[in-house]
């Protein structure tokens, strides 16, 4: 086999994988959200946000406005403060200085978080794990029915009585997503939720996330280290450097987005250059 | 033939399943060897009676009602002592696992008491309680307390903090957090404590009954020694082994029932 042949072969393989993925994505986001449709999401305004751990200042003054229903991705190098920002937005930690406001009164059920680890209760069935997400509504009469419909939404209805230990990593993360969505949150904070998944599972999870965001119209804030994931999903990408927002990039590419399209690749490249510094994208390969 | 074709065949070759009877093969072989050694005279009868003699002694005691009476007395002491010591240990384990204040107040004291071998208290206990029931119950309860206390405490302290954070995010109050997250998370460790405690329970009871009692299995063995009834002594020892096995099986069954979610207890 010549070098040329093998190259062509691998290219063909890539296409075989790409084709159904693109088809899935196109189907999932077929109807682009009409701009006049009212979003259920909350808008978010952050002013002068700072956070220190002892003498270590992680966030050094963040000002940010996120309109209701927007999908924002936050990228940055490890330790830049992106997860800290998300934890502050989700109310898991208290800021050292500055304010975060959602424009109106919120209930705890309005803001939900998804972590890199699924954090399922190993001793509760898949369905009971989803029920946990109802918050104080856990005791209501329709709790089971609501949990079942959330489980159906992520395509795991048939696993309702299983223990989490028998699920694959991607399935566990889908149960965690169902748990986060079951209370119909108005803000969903995602802390690298797909970081521990293999590449193909990650792509199908991205499509699932894109679909539920499109259907339920919540405000979505995704922290990720994967720039291609950020540009594939988000309306807007924030690059955090040294505890500040260094770049605020609009992803003005129509949905459904073609995975691996030239537009996305170009944008991904320019964001990576911002992240790594000039000249760093030429990896010499 | 490629490896893919071979693999299913390799996998289909398995050792015979370990079923309920397999575990009794070794005890049975030991019994047979023992019987053979006694019958041939290799082991003199005054050193070790044959299993058949032990069984005969057991039968006689069973008919007279003495055996059932003594087993019942010992079983009652063991379980009541276990319940008392176990519940106090569990309560302290919970309190010190959940509350910093309680832990600061009592943990150091308990750790100091733990380092006293509880059987060393026997002379003191006899002076306090005489040789009636409360002496034995006190010793068993004291012996059982520590494994249950330590493992409950350890179980609660090592519940995954990420799960606790998750529970708080999803609006669980303390009681619900305990019921849904902390207690189930601590349960495997609590069971380790229970199984340790069961062993200590028998040990303590036998020693206490041997030294100071007027009924029970330990008393029966001591009486038999006085009259050189070596078959009854051996019988008592065998009954201890059986009772220990029964207690262990009971706790395993309870584990399987309550820890069916745990990968270690799932059927494959």
Residue-wise pLDDT tens for chain A (285 aa)? 444 444 443 343 333 333 344 444 444 443 344 444 567 889 999 999 999 998 899 999 999 999 999 999 999 888 888 999 999 999 899 999 999 999 888 888 899 999 999 999 999 999 999 999 998 888 888 889 999 999 998 999 999 999 999 999 999 999 999 999 999 999 999 999 998 888 888 999 999 999 999 999 999 999 998 999 999 999 999 999 988 999 999 998 888 888 878 888 888 988 888 888 765 555 555
Contact B261 A108 (CB under 8 A): no
Give B75-120 pLDDT, tens digit per residue.
999 999 999 999 999 999 999 999 999 999 999 999 898 888 988 8
Judgement on whether residues A58 and A166 belong to the same structural domain of the protein: no
- Please count the residues of chain B: 268
Q: Nearest CB to B162: which of A119, A123, A165?
A: A119
Give B31-83 pLDDT, tens digit per residue.
999 999 998 988 888 888 999 999 999 999 999 998 999 999 999 999 999 99
Q: Nearest CB to A113: which of B169, B184, B261?
A: B169
In a domain, B185, yes or no: yes
Q: Nearest CB to B163: which of A121, A135, A163?
A: A121
Contact B262 A122 (CB under 8 A): yes
β-pair type (A236-241, A71-75): parallel
Residue of chain A nearest B267, judged by CA positions: A166
ipTM score: 0.78
Give B225-267 pLDDT, tens digit per residue.
889 889 999 999 889 888 888 888 888 898 888 888 888 877 5
Judgement on whether residues A102 and A192 belong to the same structural domain of the protein: yes
Min Cα–Cα distance to chain A from B164, Å: 9
Min Cα–Cα distance to chain A from B162, Å: 7
In a domain, A266, yes or no: yes
In a domain, B204, yes or no: yes
Contact A135 B170 (CB under 8 A): yes
Judgement on whether residues A253 and A175 belong to the same structural domain of the protein: no
* Domains held by chain B: number: 1
Residue B24 banded pLDDT, cuts 50, 70, 90 = confident
In a domain, A227, yes or no: yes
In a domain, A285, yes or no: no
In a domain, B72, yes or no: yes
DSSP 8-class letter at A208: H
Min Cα–Cα distance to chain A from B260, Å: 8
Which of the residue ranges B7-11, B93-97, B117-121, B213-217 has the most confident prediction, judged by mean pLDDT?
B93-97
In a domain, A262, yes or no: yes
Residue B15 banded pLDDT, cuts 50, 70, 90 = low
Nearest residue to A73 via CA among A242, A229, A245, A255: A229
Contact B266 A165 (CB under 8 A): yes
Judgement on whether residues A134 and A95 belong to the same structural domain of the protein: no
- Rounded CA-CA distance B210/B204 in Å is 10
Q: Which of A185, A205, A230 represents a domain boundary (last residue)?
A: A185
> In CATH, what number is assigned to the domain containing residue B249?
1.10.3720.10
In a domain, B59, yes or no: no
In a domain, A163, yes or no: yes
Q: Between A63 and B21, where is the model more confident?
A: A63
Give the model's pLDDT for residue A156: 92
User: DSSP string covering chain B, please?
Assistant: --HHHHHHHHHH--PPP--TTGGGHHHHHHHHHHHHHHHTTSS-TTTS--HHHHHHHHHHHHHHTHHHHHHHHHHHHHHHHHHHHHHHHHHHHHHHHH-HHHHHHHHHHHHHHHTS-GGGGHHHHHHHHTTSHHHHHHHHHHHHHHHHHHHHHHHHHTS-HHHHHHHHHTT--HHHHIIIIIHHHHHHHHHHHHHHHHHHHHHHHHHHHHHS-SSSHHHHHHHHHHTT-HHHHHHHHHHHHHHHHHHHHHHHHHHHHH-TTSGGGS--
Give A269-282 pLDDT, tens digit per residue.
888 888 887 655 55
Contact A163 B261 (CB under 8 A): yes
Residue of chain B nearest A180, judged by CA positions: B170
In a domain, A80, yes or no: yes
Contact A119 B163 (CB under 8 A): yes
Give the model's pLDDT for residue A278: 63
Range of the domain at A163: 120-185
Judgement on whether residues A136 and A98 belong to the same structural domain of the protein: no
Judgement on whether residues A148 and A191 belong to the same structural domain of the protein: no
Judgement on whether residues A195 and A88 belong to the same structural domain of the protein: yes
Give the model's pLDDT for residue B165: 93
Give the model's pLDDT for residue B153: 96
Give the model's pLDDT for residue B19: 67
Q: In this prediction, what percent of chain B has a pLDDT beyond 70?
A: 92
Q: Which residues of A touch B (CB under 8 A)?
A: 90, 92, 108-109, 112-113, 115, 117, 119, 121-124, 132-133, 135-136, 163-166, 179
Q: Which of A163, A185, A207 represents a domain boundary (last residue)?
A: A185
Give the model's pLDDT for residue B18: 60
Range of the domain at B140: 68-256
Give the model's pLDDT for residue B29: 94
* Domains held by chain A: number: 2
Judgement on whether residues A250 and A261 belong to the same structural domain of the protein: yes
In a domain, A6, yes or no: no
Judgement on whether residues A74 and A48 belong to the same structural domain of the protein: yes
Helix (H) / strand (E) element for A56: namely strand A56-66
In a domain, B26, yes or no: no
Judgement on whether residues A169 and A259 belong to the same structural domain of the protein: no
In a domain, B34, yes or no: no
Min Cα–Cα distance to chain A from B174, Å: 13
- Rounded CA-CA distance B196/A274 in Å is 60
Judgement on whether residues A144 and A208 belong to the same structural domain of the protein: no
Q: Which of A130, A154, A185 represents a domain boundary (last residue)?
A: A185
């Amino acid at each position: 086999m010549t070098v040329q042949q093998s190259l062509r072969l691998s290219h063909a393989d890539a296409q075989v994988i790409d084709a159904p993925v693109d088809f899935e994505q196109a189907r999932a986001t077929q109807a682009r959200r009409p701009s006049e449709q009212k979003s259920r999401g909350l808008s978010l305004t952050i002013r002068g946000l700072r956070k220190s751990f002892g003498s270590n200042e992680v966030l050094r003054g963040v000002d940010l406005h996120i309109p209701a229903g927007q999908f924002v991705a936050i990228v940055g190098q490890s330790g830049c403060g992106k997860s800290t920002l998300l934890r502050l937005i989700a109310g898991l930690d208290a800021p050292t200085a500055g304010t975060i406001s959602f424009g109106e009164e919120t209930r705890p059920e309005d803001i939900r978080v998804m972590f890199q680890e699924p954090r399922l209760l190993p001793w509760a069935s898949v369905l009971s794990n989803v029920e946990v997400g109802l918050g104080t509504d856990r005791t209501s009469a329709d709790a089971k029915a609501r949990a079942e419909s959330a489980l159906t939404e992520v395509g795991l209805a048939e696993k309702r009585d299983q223990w989490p230990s028998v699920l694959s990593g991607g399935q566990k993360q889908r149960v965690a997503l169902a748990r986060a969505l079951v209370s119909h949150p108005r803000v969903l904070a995602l802390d690298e939720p797909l970081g521990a998944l293999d590449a193909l599972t990650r792509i199908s999870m991205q499509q699932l996330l894109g679909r539920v965001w499109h259907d339920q119209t919540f405000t979505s804030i995704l922290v990720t280290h994967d720039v291609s994931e950020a540009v594939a999903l988000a309306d807007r990408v924030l690059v955090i450097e040294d505890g500040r927002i260094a770049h605020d990039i609009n992803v003005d590419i129509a949905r459904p987005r073609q995975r691996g399209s030239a537009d996305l690749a170009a944008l991904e490249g320019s964001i990576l250059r911002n992240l790594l510094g000039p000249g760093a994208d030429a990896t010499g390969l | 033939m490629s490896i893919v074709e071979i693999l299913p065949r390799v996998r289909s070759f398995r050792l015979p399943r370990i079923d309920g009877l397999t575990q009794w093969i070794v005890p049975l072989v030991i019994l047979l060897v023992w019987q053979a050694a006694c019958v041939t005279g290799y082991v003199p009868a005054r050193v070790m009676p044959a299993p058949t003699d032990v069984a005969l002694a057991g039968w006689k005691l069973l008919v007279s009602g003495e055996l059932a009476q003594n087993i019942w007395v010992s079983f009652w002491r063991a379980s009541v002592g276990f319940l008392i010591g176990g519940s106090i240990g569990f309560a302290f384990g919970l309190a010190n696992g959940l509350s910093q204040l309680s832990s600061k107040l009592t943990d150091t004291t308990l750790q100091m008491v733990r380092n006293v071998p509880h059987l060393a208290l026997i002379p003191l206990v006899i002076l306090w309680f005489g040789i009636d029931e409360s002496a034995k119950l006190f010793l068993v309860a004291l012996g059982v307390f520590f494994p249950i206390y330590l493992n409950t405490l350890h179980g609660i302290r090592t519940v995954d903090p990420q799960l606790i954070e998750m529970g708080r995010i999803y609006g669980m109050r303390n009681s619900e957090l305990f019921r849904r997250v902390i207690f189930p998370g601590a349960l495997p460790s609590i069971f380790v404590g229970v199984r340790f405690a069961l062993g200590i329970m028998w040990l303590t009871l036998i020693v206490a009954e041997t030294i100071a009692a007027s009924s029970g299995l330990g008393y029966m063995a001591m009486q038999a020694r006085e009259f050189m009834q070596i078959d009854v002594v051996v019988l008592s020892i065998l009954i201890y082994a059986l009772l220990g096995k029964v207690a262990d099986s009971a706790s395993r069954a309870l584990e399987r029932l309550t820890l069916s979610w745990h990968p270690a207890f799932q059927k494959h």
